[in-house]
Structure 1
């Protein structure tokens, strides 16, 4: 009787092909999630000037750069595995392809122990970055809701310099400055061009940090912040749930391993 490996295949070549297809799918999903989250995050940060300051904005920028790097790494790994798949014997590939369906995509992240450690670690790296983006996007969501609800107070915005924001439709001018005066002044950006050195009254953000450091100039901007914030924070909630399930599976695995050692 032939022995089988963890994939349930008696043929080592087919088993290796199943693992390769499974690993490639993991890279593809991680890359797709990275790209989507990168575009959403850029949508939130797009109204910021390149020289805008603030700890929250700096943290958000770091997370976005990391997300771009992981997307590139995942894309390269996906291409490499795709080339390796096409080099397989057609008969082996035909036998292996339907067997990858035994591993549900939704179970990849929190499954422990992982079947493919590298893609598992990479997936969690992507999710950790998304969780960080969810944290810095939460102020924008709060500020968007507060703006529509009329819960924000007023403050004085002092324009100090201009910046440029470029997108698909071209470039536009925004105004950097400070919100408030004296020692309580905080960096802020107005999404438009206004006279330098001429203070005016604006709606003060409830949570002036991260993506929430951008001043809102109308209902349209507030709705956009809410939508984008819900997307990123929705990712964050799903990641926290996956983390909880991973910890449960890790503890169960440790308990089973301990029971096996005790019996042995």
Structure 2
């Protein structure tokens, strides 16, 4: 791979000179701004074409077909809404582009932890055998009953959050945050970065926080999307919660069930579980 290809394959976590030396930002020394603009234009063209195709298909549908409520996909639903074209494209960006790399990374962490903890994999396989009754094809209804599967996914989100520092927020009003040992006064319009990686490994909240133990969630109701105590917030929370939470979790669980059900996984040597720094941590 030549140097030019390496440069093009770098992630959105690239070091940017302008971030650390604002006086040099106007020079655009690394060409990052132009690269981002080029990618943005390409994505915009793709989303515009997808939405246009669905609008044309909707126009060709007869009233009879509409009455029968033909199967609609996500874009069909967006086309029927009154939001602007720009917002429709933004939602598609969130649902698909943001979810591809993060879903793949989370799946790799789950499989790595299962290989490193064979007893967890064995228990998960036993649950799959019981829930699916050794059916040749596993159904979504089977997956919905797999409690231990859900615990494995939650534990992975706790120990290996998709985005360790989440998306930056900004305080809308001045506020005071009080804790057992600290007292903070946060002015209005302050940029706030939430360390989800540290929250999931806090020993005051989690017992043996560095151990991969899905059992900690067994028999407990714990919704990672709306946890009132904010012990795990991999998809953010409140009004800026990740819009495709359900789709992301479903994709991960479906892939995981099939990988574990049809194959036995092992490693001849100890896995390297070190993390790589970035906007996500593969």
Q: TM-score range by the shorter chain?
A: under 0.3
> Which has the greater radius of gyration?
1
TM-score (norm 2): 0.25
- Structure with the larger strand share: 1
- Structure with the larger helix share: 1
